[in-house]
Amino acid sequence: MGALLTPSISDSVILARPHRQQQTISRSVSVTGFGFWSGRDVTLEFKPAPVDAGIVFVRSDLEHAPRIPALIENRLESPRRTILAHQGVQVEMVEHVMAALAGLRIDNCEVWLNSAEVPGFDGSSKSFVDALLSAEIVEQDALRSWLLVTDVTRVGDADSWIEARPIRSQKMRVKYRLDYGHDSIIGRETYEATIKPERFIAELAPARTFILKQEAEWLRQQGLAERVTPEDVLVFDETGLIDNELRYEDECVRHKVLDLVGDLALAGCDIVGQFVAQRSGHRLNANLAQALLSECQLIQERGVSA
């Protein structure tokens, strides 16, 4: 991938007045599985959190239960997954948990883990969403902050890019173009939707991680993902899907949108705007969130308010 385009520092985003109540869950709820990368068994517990707490990962397996705020400044660069680190402690593959929380509009929650990696389940957000819905989502006595996109901000290069555009509503809308080329069994897919809880639950949360067979074999050679099988995630060879069936015809692109929702949630606020992406991944998603937050900070320093 070529060098990133430098976003212009302009009045492209402003920190607007909150437009909805903050939310958390009514009680604790847990799920158990294993980490895709490490293969280690792990229990994850969602716990209610007070207003303005945000999303915080807590490593219960370590002394003093260190806390890792789910914010973009704590993101570590890593291939194929999102890792957060704070004061020397990290947690891996958080994007599907973050997508579940953001998709359901849960703003304040503690995520307790007894291992360094989130359980992978089937490579989607469905297990997390099911658990969170069983706990019940409740409103809190505080308003949620949001970023309003008022100009175009873009990161990436000619082949892979993502940009934020203004939108004529208080919504977050995403259009993603997945392009593996005509010679690939995955090919080209496009998905576009306004991100709201009911649509997220029905159309995005169940969309699973996908990988090409040769990529999966390479990971195995590195001693990674040894417990994961084609029955867990979507693995494609040159003829099609191995030992599995698609939940949607365009499940691959839906999963890319799922990842995008999770990565943008690291901004720590709602973002109102239209996002258009082509072959974007975790790095570009995070770079765009960082660019928007950086521009917002500059405008605040100038004293501009909504």
Enzyme catalytic residues: 282
Q: What is the DSSP track for 247-277?
A: SSTTHHHHHHHHHHHHHHGGGSSEEEEEEEE
Query: With the CA atoms of 33, 138, 172 and 67 taken in that order, what torsion angle do they form, in degrees rounded to the nearest 10?
Result: -50
Nearest partner of 92 among 70, 73, 63, judged by Cα: 70
Sign of the C-alpha dihedral computed for residues 93, 274, 126 and 252 taken in this order: negative
SS3 label, residue 287? helix
Measured CA to CA, the distance from residue 35 to residue 8 in angstroms comes to 39
Other Cβ atoms within 10 Å of 182 Cβ, number: 7
CB neighbour class for 67 (10 Å; exposed up to 12, middle 13-18, buried from 19): middle
